[in-house]
Amino acid sequence: MAVIAVAGGPGAPGATTSALALLLAWPLRPGRRVLLVECDPDGGAVLAGALEGRVEAVYGLRNLAVADRRGLLARTLWEQLLDVSPQGTGDRLLLPGLTDPAQAPGLAYTWEPLVEMLHGLEPQGYDVLLDLGRSGAHGPGAVLARRADVVAVTVRSTLRGLSGARPRIAALREDLETNGTGADALGLLVVGEGPYPVAEVAREFRVPALGLLAYAPRTARVLSDGGDTGDRRFIRSELMRTARTAADRLQELVALRRRRLAPAAAASPAPSGGPLPYAPPPAPYAPPPVPYAPSPAPAPYPQAPVAGGPVHGPVHGPAPQAVLPQPPDPQPVSYAQHIAPPAVPQPPAPAPFPGQPAPGASGEVLRAR
pLDDT of residue 150: 96
> How much of the chain is helix, strand and coil, in % rounded to 5?
35, 10, 50
Cβ–Cβ < 8 Å for 203, 172? no
Provide the 3-class DSSP secondary structure of residue 38. Answer: strand
Sheet bearing 321-322, strands edge to edge: 209-213, 186-191, 150-156, 3-7, 126-133, 33-38, 92-95, 82-83, 321-322
DSSP state of 21: H
pLDDT for residue 277:
37
247 residue type, one letter: A
Count other Cβ atoms within 10 Å, centred on residue 218.
Answer: 10
The pLDDT value given to residue 89: 82
Three-class secondary structure of residue 332 per DSSP: coil
3 state SS of 86: helix
What are residue 129's DSSP bridge partners? 4, 36
Q: Would you state the pLDDT for residue 369? A: 36
Q: What angle do CA 219, 93, 32 make, to 5 degrees?
A: 105
Other residues' Cβ atoms within 10 Å of the Cβ of residue 232:
12
Query: Which pLDDT does position 323 carry in this prediction?
Result: 55
- Listed as ranges, residues in the chain with pLDDT below 50 are 268-317, 324-347, 349-369
Q: What is the pLDDT of residues 32-47, one digit of tens each?
A: 999 999 999 999 999 9
pTM of the model: 0.73
d(Cα 83, Cα 328) in Å, to the nearest integer? 20
pLDDT score at 88: 75
